[in-house]
Copies of this chain bind each other. A is one copy, B any other.
Amino acid sequence: MQRESNILTARISRVRQKFSCYKIDSLIFFNMNNIRYMSGFTGSDGILIIGENRTILLVDGRYITQAKLEVTCAEIIEYKDKIKGIIQAVRELNLKYIGFEAGSIAVQMYNQWSRQLLDEVLVPLGNELKLLRAYKDEAEISLMKKAAEISSAAILALTSEIKPGCSEKDVALQLEIIARQSGADQLAFEAIVAFGEKSALPHAKPTDRKIKRGDFIVIDFGVKYKGYCSDETCTFAFQELTDEQKNAYQLVQKAHDRAIAAVKAGVAAAEIDRCARNIFGEKYGMYFSHGTGHGVGLEVHEAPRLAPDSQDILEAQMVVTIEPGLYLPGFWGIRIEDTVLVKKNSCEKLTKMDKRLIIIE
């Protein structure tokens, strides 16, 4: 507990160290994952105000007891009205140049707030804060390993449960039960389980569609463990595949392997995307309809972004997904995804399923 409190205090200090660079005397956070990252508060609503000497967590009545149990490195103040609560705290701390998370406050709330300013100046911070949680410390990496371990083991256990007659919904529920019985706190996102032509939708929702011979089975699954997410996708075959399907699988696997082999500190995220994309060439390139990956942490999608137009550079201690896919609308889809920890000269896979083609009988 003491150690955890030290980690949080250090995170808040790192934010304070940037104040002079941003020409601010305070920074207001609205993103609940950022607030959790710096205060330990796990509720779904609240505001964190970091001043030069004091840190205040504003919460409403639903969360006051929880905040008092969870938070040691910030003063906890209850608000009835969010805007009024912010303004009161700002005046009490005598803040003047107030940085705020421009990516996490809606225009409507901002307008209400800014109308009531006296001589305070609001400084929008967006890209400056993007990498706040991107570098994972040891404690975070160990939680992410545990999350990945639980979800990979659940997918592996599931492979023996997929039987003729089962539906996407059956499989999704079974997967969740296994994961939660093995210690997952909750899912990181609604599981994608897509059979046959449904697998051509990268973000398909499980339906009553029953499994058929010749289907690809796309399973995109992740859990949360103590707040941290895992993210992994396996594509299995049911009973048999055409040669074209097998070739396409090999291609996606090659794109996945090449991209992972290229991941190391200092490489441009766009370059990793290119490694995967180049494999598909002219014939298949148009069927890889999304980016190659994204950061993972308290959120399942966070910075950096691995895509053709990304400006991000991969650095050691970042955790990112590598997930190329091919989608033939109306026919089938394939996606192969691992979550990896970026290291100085390589990367380490956190997700553990073998990505060679598995044919389920």
Contacts and interface: CB of A to CB of B under 8 A. Distances in A.
Interface of A: 42-44, 60-66, 68-69, 80-81, 100, 102-111, 124, 126, 169, 173, 176-177, 180-181, 185-186, 190, 200-205, 289-290, 309, 327, 329
Contact of A105 (B61, B107, B176, B203): B107
Nearest to A201: B66
Nearest to A68: B329
A272 to B, nearest CB: 18
Contacts of A186: 190
Stoichiometry, copies per complex: 2
A320 to B, nearest CB: 17
Nearest to A69: B201
Contact of A80 (B107, B126, B169, B309): B309
Nearest to A105: B107
Contacts of A204: 66
B203 A43 contact: yes
17 contacts: A61-B202, A61-B289, A64-B289, A100-B107, A102-B107, A102-B108, A102-B111, A103-B106, A103-B107, A105-B106, A105-B107, A106-B106, A106-B107, A107-B107, A111-B126, A169-B180, A177-B177
Contact of A65 (B65, B104, B109, B327): B327
A136 B52 CA distance: 49
Nearest to A287: B61
Contact of A203 (B62, B81, B203): B62
A61 B327 CA distance: 10
Contacts of A65: 200-201, 327, 329
A106 B111 contact: no
A190 B42 CA distance: 13
A203 B66 contact: yes
Given A105-B107, A106-B102, A110-B107, A203 B63 contact: yes
Nearest to A307: B80
A81 B291 CA distance: 12
Given A65-B201, A69-B201, 10 more contacts: A43-B203, A61-B289, A62-B202, A65-B200, A81-B309, A102-B107, A103-B106, A105-B106, A111-B126, A173-B180
Contacts of A105: 106-107
Contacts of A190: 186
A181 to B, nearest CB: 7
Contacts of A205: 42, 185
